[in-house]
Structure 1
Amino acid sequence: MTVQVIIEAVGRAELTAERVREVAGAHPAVLAHLEGADPGRLIVGPAVALGHAPDEGAPFRAGVFDPVSNRGVELRGTLDRPEEAQVLPSAHRPNPRHEELRAAAAILRADERFPAGDDVLVYQPMPPLADLDNPDGTTTRRPTLGVYDPSGATRHRVVAVDVGAGVVDWSPAGVSVAMHHPGDCESHLPVPVESLRDRGGPDQVRLRVLDGTTELWNMIVVRPRASTPTNPGDGSGVELREVRHRGRLVLRQAHVPILNVQYEEDGVTYRDWQYEETRFSATGTEPVGWGWRLCSEPPRTILERPDNDAGNFQGVAFHHDGHELRIVSELAAGWYRYASEWRLTDDGTIKPRFGFAGVRNPRTCMRHRHHVYWRFDFDVEGSANDVIEQFDDTGSTVPQAVPIVREVARKRRHPALFWQVTDKTSGRGWRIHPGEHDNTTDPYGVADLWFLRHHPAELHDGNTGPDNRAMLNRFVNGESVSATNVVVWYAGHFRHDQNDPEPHQGHVVGPDLVPVT
């Protein structure tokens, strides 16, 4: 019998960006901290409800940022009474989005130092901001832009633009301004910021996979542009919620809230964002509108298309090959390109996958390491009754089960073979088997797994420091993880070396979550 894939648009419990702006503009504490900022210029986003089963009174957190003063606050309240939200200062500085980048690009192209030529591209580089420290203690917000001049003496430059003042800094401090590597890495041209666009469509859908009358999978799928956490946070790629297999709840939430890069040669680090959808190839139908496509053939991201970084689609694509459903999107963060993917087999195995690639630039010619951190909010059988075990190598065919009863961080090293989360009563659950390319952490990556008790607000590590390191150890405080709601963070590590004899482009990492029945 043919497997049927069905998607339907669904709403979610949240405050819209417009409502957040309205609340912030009328809140005395917000206006006092931001010194009377114009509500119309504030950078805000929707505030998604926190918790397992949010209702109209669920808690929320929302970032409010004034780009003129370069200051922000965080609202903490409930959806039914947002005007009573607590207001706290926030060090989070949101990355520039499309409108701000296009405004900066217009200023850059009007600068007399901008190179001539129709083939000059303006793209978003790394880091996304190069803010200026002023003598009086204030800072000026300055988005960065990359200038690619294929016929110039220097093919790539990174500049900073003060959008408010209309000024371009061609030598911003702390940024690799002129990148003099003898050649570019990657074959794909960067996408000009002027071409970036969002065609709308739903933020999330209900996905159902049916084999005849049997429902194999049922879940909510959130597209990257609406994924949590945001403000603070940088999105999380394709996000899954309320994941059920054959009617049984497996995961309340599954996503990638943290994605880091560290360069070996000069120690530069980046925290990459995962909300920016970019184009890839997907052929099929759009039953709920733009941004969601049911494919008649396998979709192809930059990992499967070594010749170009173009495509006919932007959003989330679905394809079932007869035994496995693939959910995939392509993400952009500066010159990096990522494939955010989930593979769901009919028998219940969940395969989170993350792939790494890039567009033309000299920076990624330098050896660097990517660190991707999945967050799995398990709720097996739908009750707060989960237990965690580590299975160790004993030298025989039967591994030894070792209970984990307190919050802890672990590395993937002998004797550990795999880990398991099961419902204490039924014994059913899922095993976490490391992927063959997931590697073991280095000091910057911190650890490979964290086993934590669930707390609604622990979606983001809160690191706003210069090294972007994953600060998940701050959540480890000795709480019990026995017969309760548990969260597992799982890290994959990939070393990107242009000179490595193995293909560096298209590398994919990720574990297998295998059902225990």
Structure 2
Amino acid sequence: MKKLSCMKLAGLAIAGLLASGSAMAAGADCALWGGNLVKWPAANPIWEMCWVRPSQSVAADGSGLELRDIHYKGILVAKRLHAPILFAEYRNSSTCYRDWKDADATFAATPPVRNMLGIPGSFLATTTCDVSQAATTSYGSCPWPGLPGSPFTSGDCMSGGGVSIEDMGDHVVLTSQYSAAWYQYTGRYVFWANGDIQPEFGFGNRDGTNNNLTHWHHNYWRFDLDIDGAGNNAILANGVPQSTEFTGLRSQTGGPGGGPTYWDVITTKGGYGYRIVSGSNDYNPPNQSGRGFHTIDVIGSRFVNNEYADQANNNLGDCTMASGNIANNQSIADTDVVFYYRTSVRDVNGTDWPPGCSGATCEPQNSMVCKQGGPTMTQIGDWPIFRDGFE
């Protein structure tokens, strides 16, 4: 048999890849999607994405630190990762808020990582939540004048907020902070060289307001994962493909007793994608307050253009997460899908939690201690990894 020419071999290889549903290596297009391009590592990047600070994010009253057009080694991972739904809810009170996510707040970051990729200097990017470790004491805003022995100065604070991008060797960390009155929320994403993604949300308080009330913060991420393209995606719950939009809990009991539940978002063209597993701090049961505002942990939905939340506006007193406005029985089989994930934390006033407690039965007050949560997103399946061309 005659040997095929190099050109014919290359053509056959390309045809085979196209037939299998794979695509050419690509990268983030911030001219199309908006935002600021970051490539990590700086040399031979494996992650590319566009970042947007909270004040420029989409959705009614923003969605915090927002990342767009995210690629791993040339393969599209997500159209958008952000957190467009956020609540503060109080026990035994008429008070509750649907908080805003578009007010940039100052936090500490060394100059080499301010709005650019750089190696951290004398300290890592630090937010109000990061410094808050006292049960009942708040320290103000950066440089936290109330913090005993604070190592920070006003020169360490990013004027007007922004995003820090820190090269940590085997991972890169993007951090921002935004405020809703007395609350200062941390938005952070960690991208690992092996493809893992760790979203993190931190709940901080700058002046102690309402630290005498047991309350909850509910953050809902919106993961618009587009594995190798917007179409031909699917969501699996505990390995079972979901044919229609759904809501669910992390476990059978709403807590760790039922064991963690996981969800996969994959491309049906190749069976590869991401597994989303709950973080260790994400297990506050739904409706722990008894007020009926937050009863689900996750939502799987079909992509709808410009649908970022359960409602189109962000009225401050609308306390209920109306999941039925997102999940309304549309087909999500082999199409463009979106996955919502709730992280909830509880700030305790020791005199009223658990309800009716007294003396030793009360949990210690910890309302000002920083609380952070978030899932881990891990690659699954056989990814056709590209680098500067075809595999």
Deviation at 1:372, TM superposition (A): 0.4
Deviation at 1:407, TM superposition (A): 0.5
1:423 aligns with 267
The partner residue of 1:206 within 21, 29, 37 is 37
Please state whether the residue corresponding to 1:285 is helix, strand or coil: helix
Q: Deviations over 1:153-182 (max 9, x none)?
A: xxxxxxxxxxxxxxxxxxxxxxxxxxxxxx
**Equivalent residues in 2 for 1:360-509 (5 A)?**
360-391=207-238, 401-414=239-252, 417-439=261-283, 440-442=285-287, 443-462=292-311, 464=315, 466-499=317-350, 500-501=363-364, 503-504=366-367, 505-509=369-373
1:299 aligns with 125
Please tell me the root mean square deviation across aligned C-alpha atoms, in Å: 2.3
- Give the TM-score taking structure 1 as reference length: 0.56
Deviation at 1:428, TM superposition (A): 1.0
Please state whether the residue corresponding to 2:211 is helix, strand or coil: helix
Amino acid at match of 1:382: G
**Equivalent residues in 2 for 1:245-260 (5 A)?**
245-260=72-87
Contact kept? 1:242, 1:252, Cα under 8 Å: yes
Consecutive aligned runs of 4 or more in structure 1 exceeding 6 Å deviation: none
Contact kept? 1:282, 1:293, Cα under 8 Å: no
In structure 2, the CA distance between the partners of 1:295 and 1:310, relative to structure 1 (3 Å rule), is farther
Deviation at 1:221, TM superposition (A): 0.6
1:354 aligns with 201
For structure 2, which runs of at least 5 residues remain unmatched after alignment? 1-27, 133-138, 144-156, 253-257, 351-362, 382-391
Give the distance between the partners of 1:388 and 1:458, measured in 2 at CA.
18
In structure 2, the CA distance between the partners of 1:308 and 1:488, relative to structure 1 (3 Å rule), is same
1:330 aligns with 177
Q: Deviations over 1:114-136 (max 9, x none)?
A: xxxxxxxxxxxxxxxxxxxxxxx
Q: Deviations over 1:467-495 (max 9, x none)?
A: 33222311222111111000001111111
In structure 2, the CA distance between the partners of 1:465 and 1:328, relative to structure 1 (3 Å rule), is closer
Give the distance between the partners of 1:272 and 1:356, measured in 2 at CA.
12
1:310 aligns with 142
Are 1:218 and 2:65 an aligned pair?
A: no
Give the distance between the partners of 1:319 and 1:485, measured in 2 at CA.
32
For structure 1, which runs of at least 5 residues remain unmatched after alignment? 1-7, 14-202, 392-400
Contact kept? 1:284, 1:295, Cα under 8 Å: no
**Equivalent residues in 2 for 1:274-293 (5 A)?**
274-285=101-112
Please state whether the residue corresponding to 1:405 is helix, strand or coil: coil
Give the distance between the partners of 1:329 and 1:301, measured in 2 at CA.
8
Give the distance between the partners of 2:194 and 2:29, measured in 1 at CA.
26
Q: Deviations over 1:212-269 (max 9, x none)?
A: 43x210111111110011xxx1101110111111111111011000100111021311
Q: Which has the higher contact order (CA 8 A, sep 6+)?
A: 2
Contact kept? 1:220, 1:242, Cα under 8 Å: yes
Deviation at 1:9, TM superposition (A): 11
**Equivalent residues in 2 for 1:68-107 (5 A)?**
none
Amino acid at match of 2:293: Y
Give the distance between the partners of 1:253 and 1:435, measured in 2 at CA.
21
Matched residues, number: 305
Contact kept? 2:131, 2:370, Cα under 8 Å: no
Of all paired residues, the percent bearing the same amino acid is: 27
Higher strand share: 1
Please state whether the residue corresponding to 1:431 is helix, strand or coil: strand
Contact kept? 1:295, 1:317, Cα under 8 Å: no
1:114 aligns with none
Amino acid at match of 1:469: T
Contact kept? 1:282, 1:295, Cα under 8 Å: no
Q: Deviations over 1:100-148 (max 9, x none)?
A: xxxxxxxxxxxxxxxxxxxxxxxxxxxxxxxxxxxxxxxxxxxxxxxxx
Contact kept? 1:262, 1:368, Cα under 8 Å: yes
Are 1:228 and 2:228 an aligned pair?
A: no
Amino acid at match of 1:379: D
Give the distance between the partners of 1:516 and 1:460, measured in 2 at CA.
28
Please state whether the residue corresponding to 1:491 is helix, strand or coil: strand
In structure 2, the CA distance between the partners of 1:9 and 1:421, relative to structure 1 (3 Å rule), is closer
Deviation at 1:361, TM superposition (A): 3.5
Higher alpha-carbon Rg: 1
2:353 aligns with none
Deviation at 1:320, TM superposition (A): 1.9
Please state whether the residue corresponding to 2:55 is helix, strand or coil: helix
- Give the TM-score taking structure 2 as reference length: 0.73
The partner residue of 1:239 within 50, 60, 66 is 66
Give the distance between the partners of 1:478 and 1:509, measured in 2 at CA.
29
Give the distance between the partners of 2:61 and 2:172, measured in 1 at CA.
26
Please state whether the residue corresponding to 1:303 is helix, strand or coil: helix
In structure 2, the CA distance between the partners of 1:361 and 1:507, relative to structure 1 (3 Å rule), is closer
Q: Deviations over 1:320-351 (max 9, x none)?
A: 21112110011111000110111111111111
Please state whether the residue corresponding to 2:221 is helix, strand or coil: strand
